[in-house]
Structure 1
Amino acid sequence: MAPTFAEATAINAVDSHTYTANFTSEWCVGSVPHGGVVTSVFLRVAETHFRTTLAAQNQPHTISLHLEFLRRTQEGPAVLVVRDVKLGRQTSTVHIALSQDSREEVVGYLTHSHMNIDNGLSLKTLWSLHPAPPLPPADFRSLLGGTEDHSWKEVNEPHAKFRKVTQRVRTFVPREGQVMPGLVDEWLRLDSGEKFTNESLGFASDSFPPVIEDLWYMEGRDERLPSFWYPTVILNLDIKKVLPPEGVEWLFVRIQPKNVRNGKMDLEVIIMNDIGEIIALSNHVVLLVGTDRNLAARRNGQNKI
Protein backbone atom coordinates (compact mmCIF):
# COMPACT_ATOMS: atom_id res chain seq x y z
CA MET A 1 0.00 0.00 0.00
CA ALA A 2 1.32 3.43 -0.96
CA PRO A 3 2.34 5.77 1.85
CA THR A 4 -0.11 8.58 2.58
CA PHE A 5 0.93 12.14 1.85
CA ALA A 6 1.61 12.68 5.55
CA GLU A 7 3.85 9.60 5.59
CA ALA A 8 5.61 10.55 2.34
CA THR A 9 6.48 14.01 3.67
CA ALA A 10 7.16 13.05 7.30
CA ILE A 11 10.27 14.46 8.93
CA ASN A 12 12.21 13.67 12.09
CA ALA A 13 14.30 16.05 14.17
CA VAL A 14 17.91 14.95 14.74
CA ASP A 15 18.85 18.06 16.70
CA SER A 16 17.74 21.69 16.93
CA HIS A 17 18.74 22.48 13.33
CA THR A 18 18.90 19.10 11.56
CA TYR A 19 16.00 17.04 10.21
CA THR A 20 15.63 13.89 8.13
CA ALA A 21 13.11 12.79 5.53
CA ASN A 22 12.64 9.71 3.35
CA PHE A 23 11.42 9.87 -0.26
CA THR A 24 9.43 6.85 -1.44
CA SER A 25 9.02 5.44 -4.94
CA GLU A 26 5.23 5.87 -4.99
CA TRP A 27 5.62 9.67 -4.79
CA CYS A 28 8.19 9.92 -7.59
CA VAL A 29 8.29 10.85 -11.26
CA GLY A 30 10.43 8.10 -12.72
CA SER A 31 13.27 7.75 -10.25
CA VAL A 32 13.08 11.34 -8.96
CA PRO A 33 10.90 12.48 -6.03
CA HIS A 34 8.14 14.81 -7.18
CA GLY A 35 9.16 18.45 -6.83
CA GLY A 36 5.97 19.29 -4.97
CA VAL A 37 6.67 16.56 -2.43
CA VAL A 38 10.16 17.96 -1.90
CA THR A 39 8.65 21.43 -1.48
CA SER A 40 6.19 20.17 1.10
CA VAL A 41 9.05 18.54 3.03
CA PHE A 42 10.74 21.96 3.19
CA LEU A 43 7.47 23.46 4.46
CA ARG A 44 7.18 20.75 7.13
CA VAL A 45 10.77 21.33 8.26
CA ALA A 46 10.15 25.07 8.57
CA GLU A 47 6.85 24.53 10.41
CA THR A 48 8.50 22.15 12.87
CA HIS A 49 11.53 24.39 13.34
CA PHE A 50 9.40 27.43 14.15
CA ARG A 51 7.19 25.37 16.44
CA THR A 52 10.14 23.99 18.43
CA THR A 53 13.56 25.60 18.09
CA LEU A 54 12.16 29.04 17.24
CA ALA A 55 8.95 28.81 19.25
CA ALA A 56 9.75 32.07 21.02
CA GLN A 57 9.34 33.92 17.71
CA ASN A 58 5.62 33.02 17.63
CA GLN A 59 5.71 32.90 13.82
CA PRO A 60 4.11 29.58 12.84
CA HIS A 61 3.22 30.29 9.21
CA THR A 62 5.34 30.20 6.06
CA ILE A 63 4.48 33.29 4.03
CA SER A 64 7.07 32.88 1.29
CA LEU A 65 9.33 30.15 -0.02
CA HIS A 66 12.07 30.16 -2.65
CA LEU A 67 13.70 26.87 -3.69
CA GLU A 68 16.57 26.18 -6.08
CA PHE A 69 16.76 22.58 -7.34
CA LEU A 70 20.50 22.27 -7.91
CA ARG A 71 20.61 18.55 -8.62
CA ARG A 72 17.99 15.87 -9.00
CA THR A 73 16.93 14.16 -5.82
CA GLN A 74 16.47 10.41 -5.44
CA GLU A 75 14.45 7.87 -3.52
CA GLY A 76 15.61 7.22 0.01
CA PRO A 77 16.80 9.22 3.01
CA ALA A 78 17.60 12.92 2.96
CA VAL A 79 19.08 15.33 5.50
CA LEU A 80 17.84 18.91 5.83
CA VAL A 81 19.95 21.45 7.71
CA VAL A 82 18.44 24.74 8.86
CA ARG A 83 20.34 27.98 9.32
CA ASP A 84 18.60 30.83 11.12
CA VAL A 85 19.31 33.77 8.82
CA LYS A 86 17.22 36.59 10.26
CA LEU A 87 15.05 36.56 13.36
CA GLY A 88 12.74 39.56 13.51
CA ARG A 89 9.74 40.81 15.40
CA GLN A 90 7.32 40.59 12.44
CA THR A 91 9.04 38.12 10.10
CA SER A 92 11.93 35.67 10.35
CA THR A 93 13.83 33.89 7.59
CA VAL A 94 15.63 30.56 7.58
CA HIS A 95 17.84 28.86 5.01
CA ILE A 96 17.35 25.12 4.49
CA ALA A 97 19.65 22.82 2.52
CA LEU A 98 18.65 19.28 1.51
CA SER A 99 21.42 16.72 0.96
CA GLN A 100 21.56 13.08 -0.08
CA ASP A 101 24.74 10.99 -0.09
CA SER A 102 26.69 14.16 0.83
CA ARG A 103 25.34 15.99 -2.27
CA GLU A 104 23.62 19.30 -1.66
CA GLU A 105 20.63 19.01 -4.00
CA VAL A 106 17.97 21.58 -3.05
CA VAL A 107 18.41 24.84 -1.16
CA GLY A 108 15.87 27.43 -0.15
CA TYR A 109 14.84 30.40 1.92
CA LEU A 110 11.56 30.39 3.85
CA THR A 111 10.09 33.41 5.62
CA HIS A 112 7.69 33.01 8.54
CA SER A 113 5.18 35.24 10.25
CA HIS A 114 1.95 34.89 12.24
CA MET A 115 -0.77 35.39 9.65
CA ASN A 116 -3.60 35.25 12.18
CA ILE A 117 -2.37 38.27 14.14
CA ASP A 118 -0.68 40.28 11.39
CA ASN A 119 -2.35 43.64 10.92
CA GLY A 120 -1.98 46.45 8.46
CA LEU A 121 -3.61 47.89 5.39
CA SER A 122 -5.95 45.55 3.49
CA LEU A 123 -7.73 46.58 0.29
CA LYS A 124 -9.98 44.77 -2.14
CA THR A 125 -8.74 44.64 -5.71
CA LEU A 126 -10.61 44.16 -8.99
CA TRP A 127 -8.56 41.09 -9.90
CA SER A 128 -10.33 37.95 -11.08
CA LEU A 129 -9.45 34.86 -13.09
CA HIS A 130 -9.47 35.70 -16.80
CA PRO A 131 -10.70 33.95 -18.78
CA ALA A 132 -13.21 32.67 -16.25
CA PRO A 133 -13.16 28.91 -15.59
CA PRO A 134 -16.32 26.77 -15.76
CA LEU A 135 -18.58 27.16 -12.76
CA PRO A 136 -17.22 25.32 -9.72
CA PRO A 137 -18.81 22.03 -8.70
CA ALA A 138 -21.95 22.49 -6.63
CA ASP A 139 -21.58 19.02 -5.13
CA PHE A 140 -18.12 17.52 -4.86
CA ARG A 141 -19.53 14.09 -4.01
CA SER A 142 -21.21 13.95 -7.40
CA LEU A 143 -17.89 14.93 -8.95
CA LEU A 144 -16.23 11.94 -7.29
CA GLY A 145 -19.09 9.79 -8.56
CA GLY A 146 -18.33 10.75 -12.17
CA THR A 147 -21.75 12.27 -12.90
CA GLU A 148 -21.95 12.70 -16.67
CA ASP A 149 -23.80 16.01 -16.60
CA HIS A 150 -21.10 17.57 -14.45
CA SER A 151 -18.99 20.31 -16.08
CA TRP A 152 -15.83 18.67 -14.72
CA LYS A 153 -14.36 15.22 -15.35
CA GLU A 154 -11.51 13.20 -13.88
CA VAL A 155 -8.34 12.99 -15.95
CA ASN A 156 -6.07 9.95 -15.96
CA GLU A 157 -2.36 10.40 -16.58
CA PRO A 158 -1.38 8.48 -19.76
CA HIS A 159 2.14 7.84 -18.42
CA ALA A 160 1.14 6.83 -14.90
CA LYS A 161 3.82 4.13 -14.72
CA PHE A 162 6.47 6.82 -15.14
CA ARG A 163 4.66 9.58 -13.24
CA LYS A 164 3.74 7.38 -10.30
CA VAL A 165 2.90 10.38 -8.14
CA THR A 166 -0.17 11.10 -10.31
CA GLN A 167 -1.83 8.04 -8.78
CA ARG A 168 -1.69 9.72 -5.38
CA VAL A 169 -3.97 12.61 -6.36
CA ARG A 170 -7.30 12.89 -8.17
CA THR A 171 -7.42 15.61 -10.80
CA PHE A 172 -10.57 17.01 -12.41
CA VAL A 173 -10.53 19.25 -15.50
CA PRO A 174 -13.29 20.93 -17.55
CA ARG A 175 -15.36 18.32 -19.39
CA GLU A 176 -15.57 20.48 -22.53
CA GLY A 177 -11.85 21.24 -22.56
CA GLN A 178 -9.73 24.03 -21.16
CA VAL A 179 -10.88 27.60 -21.73
CA MET A 180 -7.79 28.33 -23.86
CA PRO A 181 -4.72 26.46 -25.14
CA GLY A 182 -1.80 26.37 -22.74
CA LEU A 183 -3.95 27.02 -19.68
CA VAL A 184 -4.98 24.31 -17.21
CA ASP A 185 -7.80 24.65 -14.69
CA GLU A 186 -8.19 21.77 -12.25
CA TRP A 187 -9.73 20.68 -8.97
CA LEU A 188 -7.43 18.58 -6.79
CA ARG A 189 -8.15 16.04 -4.08
CA LEU A 190 -5.62 13.70 -2.46
CA ASP A 191 -6.47 10.11 -3.37
CA SER A 192 -6.08 9.02 0.27
CA GLY A 193 -8.81 11.45 1.35
CA GLU A 194 -6.31 13.40 3.45
CA LYS A 195 -6.97 17.12 3.74
CA PHE A 196 -4.78 19.81 2.23
CA THR A 197 -3.00 21.93 4.84
CA ASN A 198 -0.58 24.81 4.37
CA GLU A 199 2.29 22.32 4.31
CA SER A 200 0.50 20.53 1.42
CA LEU A 201 0.52 23.68 -0.72
CA GLY A 202 3.99 22.80 -1.99
CA PHE A 203 2.56 19.65 -3.52
CA ALA A 204 -0.58 21.39 -4.83
CA SER A 205 1.54 24.07 -6.51
CA ASP A 206 3.33 21.41 -8.58
CA SER A 207 0.55 18.91 -9.30
CA PHE A 208 -1.07 19.19 -12.72
CA PRO A 209 -1.29 17.42 -16.10
CA PRO A 210 1.10 18.48 -18.90
CA VAL A 211 0.39 22.08 -19.87
CA ILE A 212 2.04 22.11 -23.31
CA GLU A 213 -0.07 19.49 -25.12
CA ASP A 214 -2.61 21.98 -26.50
CA LEU A 215 0.19 24.35 -27.51
CA TRP A 216 1.95 21.49 -29.32
CA TYR A 217 -1.07 20.64 -31.45
CA MET A 218 -2.06 24.31 -31.90
CA GLU A 219 1.03 24.67 -34.09
CA GLY A 220 -0.35 22.06 -36.49
CA ARG A 221 1.97 19.25 -35.47
CA ASP A 222 0.70 15.84 -36.55
CA GLU A 223 3.06 13.70 -34.52
CA ARG A 224 2.17 12.74 -30.98
CA LEU A 225 3.63 14.84 -28.17
CA PRO A 226 6.81 13.10 -26.94
CA SER A 227 7.02 11.97 -23.36
CA PHE A 228 8.82 14.73 -21.49
CA TRP A 229 10.14 15.08 -17.97
CA TYR A 230 9.51 18.53 -16.50
CA PRO A 231 12.10 19.02 -13.73
CA THR A 232 11.70 22.15 -11.64
CA VAL A 233 14.72 24.46 -11.48
CA ILE A 234 13.24 27.24 -9.33
CA LEU A 235 9.99 27.28 -7.35
CA ASN A 236 8.56 30.29 -5.53
CA LEU A 237 5.51 30.11 -3.28
CA ASP A 238 3.67 33.11 -1.83
CA ILE A 239 1.09 31.96 0.74
CA LYS A 240 -1.77 34.42 1.18
CA LYS A 241 -4.13 32.65 3.56
CA VAL A 242 -3.94 30.11 6.36
CA LEU A 243 -6.01 27.02 5.68
CA PRO A 244 -8.13 25.81 8.62
CA PRO A 245 -6.30 23.52 11.08
CA GLU A 246 -8.36 20.54 9.93
CA GLY A 247 -7.43 21.28 6.31
CA VAL A 248 -9.62 21.31 3.19
CA GLU A 249 -10.55 18.43 0.92
CA TRP A 250 -10.48 20.34 -2.39
CA LEU A 251 -8.29 23.00 -3.98
CA PHE A 252 -8.73 24.80 -7.29
CA VAL A 253 -5.53 25.39 -9.28
CA ARG A 254 -4.90 27.38 -12.48
CA ILE A 255 -1.59 26.86 -14.29
CA GLN A 256 -0.33 28.83 -17.29
CA PRO A 257 3.04 29.31 -19.01
CA LYS A 258 3.81 32.64 -20.62
CA ASN A 259 6.79 31.48 -22.67
CA VAL A 260 8.04 28.09 -23.84
CA ARG A 261 11.43 28.46 -25.48
CA ASN A 262 14.62 26.46 -25.95
CA GLY A 263 13.58 23.67 -23.60
CA LYS A 264 12.55 25.93 -20.73
CA MET A 265 9.26 27.41 -19.60
CA ASP A 266 7.83 29.53 -16.85
CA LEU A 267 4.67 28.56 -14.98
CA GLU A 268 2.27 30.81 -13.12
CA VAL A 269 0.20 28.90 -10.56
CA ILE A 270 -2.84 30.25 -8.70
CA ILE A 271 -4.31 28.18 -5.86
CA MET A 272 -7.80 28.97 -4.56
CA ASN A 273 -10.31 27.41 -2.18
CA ASP A 274 -13.86 26.35 -3.03
CA ILE A 275 -15.26 29.85 -2.42
CA GLY A 276 -12.80 31.58 -4.72
CA GLU A 277 -10.34 32.98 -2.17
CA ILE A 278 -6.67 33.06 -3.15
CA ILE A 279 -4.74 30.68 -0.93
CA ALA A 280 -1.34 30.88 -2.62
CA LEU A 281 0.50 32.07 -5.72
CA SER A 282 3.45 30.22 -7.20
CA ASN A 283 5.92 30.69 -10.03
CA HIS A 284 8.21 28.03 -11.47
CA VAL A 285 11.12 27.78 -13.88
CA VAL A 286 10.89 24.36 -15.54
CA LEU A 287 13.00 22.38 -18.02
CA LEU A 288 11.52 20.25 -20.80
CA VAL A 289 13.82 17.26 -21.26
CA GLY A 290 13.54 13.65 -22.35
CA THR A 291 12.52 11.08 -19.79
CA ASP A 292 15.91 9.39 -20.26
CA ARG A 293 17.45 12.28 -18.28
CA ASN A 294 15.32 11.27 -15.32
CA LEU A 295 16.44 7.64 -15.38
CA ALA A 296 20.09 8.14 -16.34
CA ALA A 297 22.79 6.98 -13.94
CA ARG A 298 24.57 9.64 -11.93
CA ARG A 299 28.05 10.67 -13.01
CA ASN A 300 30.71 11.05 -10.34
CA GLY A 301 27.99 11.31 -7.71
CA GLN A 302 27.27 14.94 -8.61
CA ASN A 303 24.77 14.64 -11.46
CA LYS A 304 22.80 17.82 -12.11
CA ILE A 305 19.22 17.88 -13.34
Structure 2
Amino acid sequence: MAGFTDATSVQRADDDSFDTDLDPLWTVGGKPNGGYLLAILARAAIETAGTHPDPLSASAVYLSPPDPGPAAVTVEVLRAGRSASQVRARLSQKDRTCVEALFTLGALAAAGEPRWVDAAPPPVAAEDALFATPSQAPGTGLRIDMLDQFEQRIDWQAVGDPPGELRGWLRLPDGAAWDPVSLLFAADAFPPATFTLGSNGWTPTLELTVYVRALPAPGPLRVRQRARLLTESLVDQVCEIWDAEDRIVAQATQLAAYRMPAS
Protein backbone atom coordinates (compact mmCIF):
# COMPACT_ATOMS: atom_id res chain seq x y z
CA MET A 1 0.00 0.00 0.00
CA ALA A 2 1.35 3.42 -0.97
CA GLY A 3 0.63 5.85 1.88
CA PHE A 4 -0.64 9.24 0.78
CA THR A 5 2.41 11.19 1.94
CA ASP A 6 4.82 8.91 0.10
CA ALA A 7 2.61 8.72 -2.99
CA THR A 8 2.54 12.53 -3.29
CA SER A 9 6.21 13.20 -2.52
CA VAL A 10 8.38 15.39 -4.73
CA GLN A 11 12.17 15.56 -5.07
CA ARG A 12 13.85 18.86 -5.87
CA ALA A 13 15.65 18.89 -9.22
CA ASP A 14 16.77 22.56 -9.16
CA ASP A 15 15.60 25.89 -7.77
CA ASP A 16 12.17 25.85 -9.37
CA SER A 17 11.56 22.27 -10.51
CA PHE A 18 10.87 18.89 -8.95
CA ASP A 19 10.70 15.28 -10.00
CA THR A 20 7.85 13.05 -8.91
CA ASP A 21 6.58 9.56 -9.60
CA LEU A 22 2.84 9.24 -10.20
CA ASP A 23 1.72 6.19 -8.26
CA PRO A 24 -0.40 3.61 -10.16
CA LEU A 25 -2.28 2.83 -6.93
CA TRP A 26 -3.88 6.31 -6.78
CA THR A 27 -5.72 6.02 -10.08
CA VAL A 28 -9.20 5.80 -11.58
CA GLY A 29 -9.34 3.62 -14.67
CA GLY A 30 -5.55 3.67 -14.83
CA LYS A 31 -5.25 7.49 -14.72
CA PRO A 32 -4.12 9.45 -11.63
CA ASN A 33 -6.96 11.10 -9.72
CA GLY A 34 -7.22 14.88 -10.12
CA GLY A 35 -7.15 15.64 -6.40
CA TYR A 36 -4.10 13.40 -6.01
CA LEU A 37 -2.31 15.40 -8.74
CA LEU A 38 -3.32 18.67 -7.07
CA ALA A 39 -1.77 17.47 -3.80
CA ILE A 40 1.54 16.75 -5.57
CA LEU A 41 1.57 20.26 -7.00
CA ALA A 42 0.79 21.66 -3.55
CA ARG A 43 3.79 19.90 -2.01
CA ALA A 44 6.11 21.43 -4.60
CA ALA A 45 4.53 24.88 -4.15
CA ILE A 46 4.88 24.72 -0.34
CA GLU A 47 8.51 23.61 -0.50
CA THR A 48 9.38 26.38 -2.95
CA ALA A 49 7.60 29.17 -1.06
CA GLY A 50 9.23 28.01 2.16
CA THR A 51 7.47 30.28 4.67
CA HIS A 52 3.82 29.16 4.45
CA PRO A 53 3.07 25.49 5.20
CA ASP A 54 -0.58 25.15 4.16
CA PRO A 55 -2.66 25.57 0.99
CA LEU A 56 -5.47 28.06 1.65
CA SER A 57 -6.81 27.84 -1.89
CA ALA A 58 -5.98 25.88 -5.02
CA SER A 59 -7.38 26.23 -8.51
CA ALA A 60 -6.33 23.76 -11.21
CA VAL A 61 -7.07 23.23 -14.89
CA TYR A 62 -6.61 19.72 -16.27
CA LEU A 63 -5.22 19.80 -19.78
CA SER A 64 -4.08 16.25 -20.51
CA PRO A 65 -4.33 13.17 -18.28
CA PRO A 66 -0.88 11.87 -17.32
CA ASP A 67 0.04 8.22 -16.93
CA PRO A 68 1.51 6.62 -13.82
CA GLY A 69 5.27 7.02 -13.79
CA PRO A 70 7.84 9.82 -13.79
CA ALA A 71 6.65 13.41 -14.17
CA ALA A 72 8.05 16.89 -13.58
CA VAL A 73 6.72 19.85 -11.60
CA THR A 74 7.82 23.44 -12.21
CA VAL A 75 6.99 26.19 -9.72
CA GLU A 76 6.92 29.98 -9.89
CA VAL A 77 6.46 32.16 -6.81
CA LEU A 78 4.23 35.02 -7.92
CA ARG A 79 4.24 36.84 -4.57
CA ALA A 80 5.82 36.10 -1.21
CA GLY A 81 3.97 38.02 1.49
CA ARG A 82 3.96 37.99 5.27
CA SER A 83 0.54 36.37 5.74
CA ALA A 84 0.18 34.60 2.38
CA SER A 85 2.09 33.68 -0.76
CA GLN A 86 0.77 33.06 -4.27
CA VAL A 87 2.43 30.32 -6.30
CA ARG A 88 1.92 28.81 -9.76
CA ALA A 89 2.76 25.13 -10.32
CA ARG A 90 2.69 23.01 -13.47
CA LEU A 91 2.86 19.24 -13.86
CA SER A 92 4.23 17.92 -17.14
CA GLN A 93 5.04 14.55 -18.60
CA LYS A 94 6.72 13.64 -21.89
CA ASP A 95 6.96 17.28 -23.01
CA ARG A 96 3.26 18.01 -22.50
CA THR A 97 1.58 20.08 -19.81
CA CYS A 98 -0.94 17.99 -17.91
CA VAL A 99 -2.11 20.17 -14.99
CA GLU A 100 -1.59 23.81 -14.11
CA ALA A 101 -2.56 25.24 -10.72
CA LEU A 102 -2.52 28.46 -8.73
CA PHE A 103 -2.14 28.31 -4.95
CA THR A 104 -2.56 30.75 -2.12
CA LEU A 105 -0.43 29.49 0.77
CA GLY A 106 -0.60 30.49 4.43
CA ALA A 107 -0.78 29.00 7.92
CA LEU A 108 -4.02 27.40 9.12
CA ALA A 109 -5.31 26.98 12.65
CA ALA A 110 -7.53 24.22 14.01
CA ALA A 111 -11.19 24.64 13.17
CA GLY A 112 -13.06 26.80 15.65
CA GLU A 113 -16.64 27.93 15.99
CA PRO A 114 -17.49 29.96 12.86
CA ARG A 115 -18.99 33.41 13.12
CA TRP A 116 -21.59 32.29 10.59
CA VAL A 117 -22.15 29.27 8.35
CA ASP A 118 -25.03 28.75 5.94
CA ALA A 119 -25.66 25.05 6.65
CA ALA A 120 -25.16 22.48 9.38
CA PRO A 121 -23.43 19.17 8.57
CA PRO A 122 -25.85 16.98 6.62
CA PRO A 123 -27.24 13.79 8.16
CA VAL A 124 -25.24 10.70 7.21
CA ALA A 125 -25.71 7.12 8.38
CA ALA A 126 -23.18 5.96 10.96
CA GLU A 127 -19.82 5.11 9.43
CA ASP A 128 -19.85 1.53 10.73
CA ALA A 129 -23.31 0.97 9.23
CA LEU A 130 -22.02 1.56 5.69
CA PHE A 131 -19.80 -0.67 3.55
CA ALA A 132 -16.53 0.50 2.04
CA THR A 133 -16.78 1.17 -1.69
CA PRO A 134 -14.96 -1.63 -3.56
CA SER A 135 -12.26 -0.82 -6.10
CA GLN A 136 -14.03 -2.96 -8.70
CA ALA A 137 -17.74 -2.25 -8.55
CA PRO A 138 -19.79 -5.10 -10.06
CA GLY A 139 -21.01 -4.42 -13.58
CA THR A 140 -19.12 -1.16 -14.11
CA GLY A 141 -16.04 -2.42 -15.97
CA LEU A 142 -14.05 0.35 -14.25
CA ARG A 143 -11.31 -0.31 -11.72
CA ILE A 144 -10.66 2.43 -9.15
CA ASP A 145 -7.35 1.39 -7.62
CA MET A 146 -7.23 4.34 -5.24
CA LEU A 147 -10.18 2.85 -3.31
CA ASP A 148 -7.76 0.20 -2.02
CA GLN A 149 -5.69 3.01 -0.44
CA PHE A 150 -8.36 4.70 1.72
CA GLU A 151 -11.92 4.08 2.91
CA GLN A 152 -14.88 5.64 1.16
CA ARG A 153 -18.28 4.84 2.66
CA ILE A 154 -21.31 6.28 0.86
CA ASP A 155 -24.76 6.53 2.38
CA TRP A 156 -26.54 4.86 -0.53
CA GLN A 157 -29.87 4.91 1.32
CA ALA A 158 -29.79 8.72 1.12
CA VAL A 159 -29.11 8.86 -2.63
CA GLY A 160 -31.86 10.76 -4.40
CA ASP A 161 -32.92 12.71 -1.31
CA PRO A 162 -32.38 15.35 -2.53
CA PRO A 163 -31.63 14.49 -6.19
CA GLY A 164 -28.09 15.01 -7.43
CA GLU A 165 -26.44 14.54 -4.03
CA LEU A 166 -24.05 12.02 -2.43
CA ARG A 167 -23.15 11.91 1.27
CA GLY A 168 -20.75 9.73 3.21
CA TRP A 169 -17.39 9.33 4.94
CA LEU A 170 -13.70 9.28 4.05
CA ARG A 171 -10.93 7.82 6.19
CA LEU A 172 -7.21 7.32 5.58
CA PRO A 173 -5.85 3.86 6.51
CA ASP A 174 -4.06 2.92 9.74
CA GLY A 175 -5.36 5.95 11.60
CA ALA A 176 -3.43 8.42 9.41
CA ALA A 177 -4.56 12.00 10.00
CA TRP A 178 -6.02 14.24 7.35
CA ASP A 179 -4.08 17.47 6.82
CA PRO A 180 -4.45 20.50 4.52
CA VAL A 181 -2.68 18.81 1.57
CA SER A 182 -4.65 15.57 1.80
CA LEU A 183 -7.86 17.65 2.00
CA LEU A 184 -7.11 18.71 -1.60
CA PHE A 185 -7.38 15.05 -2.53
CA ALA A 186 -10.48 14.51 -0.37
CA ALA A 187 -12.26 17.25 -2.32
CA ASP A 188 -12.03 15.06 -5.44
CA ALA A 189 -12.27 11.61 -3.85
CA PHE A 190 -16.05 11.03 -4.08
CA PRO A 191 -17.84 9.67 -7.16
CA PRO A 192 -19.36 12.37 -9.36
CA ALA A 193 -22.82 13.41 -8.21
CA THR A 194 -24.06 12.82 -11.76
CA PHE A 195 -24.19 9.10 -10.85
CA THR A 196 -27.38 9.88 -8.98
CA LEU A 197 -28.87 11.46 -12.11
CA GLY A 198 -28.22 8.61 -14.55
CA SER A 199 -24.76 9.31 -16.01
CA ASN A 200 -22.54 6.35 -16.91
CA GLY A 201 -19.46 7.40 -14.94
CA TRP A 202 -17.25 9.12 -17.53
CA THR A 203 -16.69 12.48 -15.81
CA PRO A 204 -13.29 14.06 -16.55
CA THR A 205 -12.49 17.17 -14.51
CA LEU A 206 -11.87 20.35 -16.49
CA GLU A 207 -11.34 22.72 -13.54
CA LEU A 208 -11.21 22.20 -9.77
CA THR A 209 -11.07 24.88 -7.09
CA VAL A 210 -10.58 23.99 -3.41
CA TYR A 211 -10.68 26.21 -0.34
CA VAL A 212 -9.04 24.69 2.75
CA ARG A 213 -10.55 26.42 5.78
CA ALA A 214 -8.90 24.85 8.84
CA LEU A 215 -6.76 22.04 10.19
CA PRO A 216 -9.05 19.01 10.52
CA ALA A 217 -9.55 17.21 13.83
CA PRO A 218 -8.40 13.57 13.90
CA GLY A 219 -10.91 11.09 12.56
CA PRO A 220 -13.06 10.56 9.47
CA LEU A 221 -14.32 13.28 7.16
CA ARG A 222 -18.02 13.79 6.48
CA VAL A 223 -18.54 14.65 2.79
CA ARG A 224 -21.43 15.99 0.76
CA GLN A 225 -21.09 16.22 -3.02
CA ARG A 226 -23.90 17.68 -5.08
CA ALA A 227 -24.52 18.63 -8.68
CA ARG A 228 -25.90 22.12 -9.27
CA LEU A 229 -26.42 22.35 -13.02
CA LEU A 230 -26.27 19.86 -15.88
CA THR A 231 -26.20 21.23 -19.39
CA GLU A 232 -25.85 19.13 -22.54
CA SER A 233 -22.34 17.88 -21.70
CA LEU A 234 -21.06 19.76 -18.61
CA VAL A 235 -21.81 19.62 -14.90
CA ASP A 236 -20.73 21.85 -12.07
CA GLN A 237 -20.70 20.28 -8.64
CA VAL A 238 -19.92 21.35 -5.10
CA CYS A 239 -18.10 19.32 -2.45
CA GLU A 240 -18.26 20.24 1.24
CA ILE A 241 -16.16 18.52 3.91
CA TRP A 242 -16.59 18.47 7.69
CA ASP A 243 -14.11 17.00 10.17
CA ALA A 244 -14.88 14.61 13.03
CA GLU A 245 -15.91 17.56 15.23
CA ASP A 246 -18.49 18.73 12.64
CA ARG A 247 -16.49 21.80 11.62
CA ILE A 248 -16.29 22.58 7.93
CA VAL A 249 -12.67 22.25 6.83
CA ALA A 250 -12.80 22.33 3.02
CA GLN A 251 -15.07 23.43 0.17
CA ALA A 252 -14.66 22.78 -3.53
CA THR A 253 -16.30 23.50 -6.86
CA GLN A 254 -15.63 21.53 -10.01
CA LEU A 255 -16.51 21.82 -13.68
CA ALA A 256 -16.52 18.46 -15.44
CA ALA A 257 -17.71 16.80 -18.60
CA TYR A 258 -20.18 13.96 -18.27
CA ARG A 259 -21.96 11.46 -20.46
CA MET A 260 -25.38 9.88 -20.30
CA PRO A 261 -25.89 6.32 -21.61
CA ALA A 262 -27.33 6.00 -25.07
CA SER A 263 -31.11 5.80 -25.16
TM over 0.5: yes
Q: Deviations over 1:205-261 (max 9, x none)?
A: 011134223322xxxxxxxx63x32211101011110236xxx33111110010122
Matches for 1:129-208 after TM superposition, within 5 Å: 129=120, 132-134=122-124, 137=126, 143=128, 150=129, 152-156=130-134, 158=137, 159=140, 161-174=142-155, 176-178=157-159, 179-191=161-173, 193-208=175-190
Deviation of 1:36 (Å): 1.3
* Contact persistence 1:24–1:76 (CA under 8 A): yes
**Separation in 2, partners of 1:13, 1:280:** 28
Structure 1 spans left out of the alignment, 5+ residues: 52-57, 144-149, 217-224, 291-305
Could you say which structure has the larger radius of gyration? 1
1:259 to 229, 251, 257: 229
Matched AA of 2:31: V
Distance 1:26 1:123, change over 3 A: closer
Kindly indicate whether the alpha-carbon contact (under 8 Å) linking 2:88 and 2:103 is maintained by their aligned counterparts in 1.
yes
1:241 aligns with 2:232: no
1:45 aligns with 2:18: no
Say whether residues 1:95 and 2:88 are aligned partners: yes
In the TM superposition, structure 1's runs of 4+ consecutive aligned residues that sit over 4 Å from their partners are none
Show the counterpart of 2:76: 83
Give the conservation status (yes or no) of the 8 Å contact 1:168–1:192: no
CA contact (8 A) 1:11 1:21 kept: yes
Q: Aligned partner of 2:106: which letter? A: S
Q: Give the counterpart of 2:119 among 122, 128, 136.
A: 128
- Which one-letter code corresponds to 2:26 in the other structure? W
Aligned ranges for residues 47-62 of structure 1 at < 5 Å? 47-51=46-50, 58-62=51-55
Superposition deviation, residue 161 in structure 1: 5.0
Amino acid at match of 2:254: H
Contact 1:18 1:81 in 2 (8 A): yes
Q: Percent identity?
A: 22
CA 1:128–1:194 in structure 2 vs 1: closer, same or farther (change >3 Å)? Answer: same
Task: Kindly provide the amino acid, as one letter, of the partner of residue 36 in structure 2.
Answer: V
Distance change (3 Å), C-alpha of 1:3 and 1:59: closer
Partner Cα distance (1:214, 1:109) in 2: 31
- What is aligned with 2:249? 279
Question: AA paired with 2:133?
Answer: V
The whole-number CA distance in structure 2 between the counterparts of 1:242 and 1:126 is 17
Q: Aligned pair in 2 of structure 1 residues 215, 98: CA closer, same or farther (>3 Å)?
A: same
**Cα distance in 2, alignment partners of residues 123 and 183 from structure 1:** 25
Mapped contact 2:28–2:146 kept (Cα < 8 A): yes
In 2 relative to 1, CA 233–210 (structure 1 residues): closer, same or farther, beyond 3 Å? closer
- 2:80·2:86 contact (CA, 8 Å) conserved in 1? yes
Q: Retained in 1: the 8 A contact 2:225–2:238?
A: yes
Q: How many residues align?
A: 254
Q: What code does the residue aligned with 1:39 have?
A: L
Shift of residue 160, structure 1, vs aligned partner = 7.6
Q: 1:124 is aligned with what amino acid?
A: R
SS at match of 1:286: strand
Structure 1 position 27, deviation (Å): 1.2
**Offset of residue 173 of structure 1:** 2.4
Please give the TM-score of this superposition, normalised by the length of structure 2.
0.87
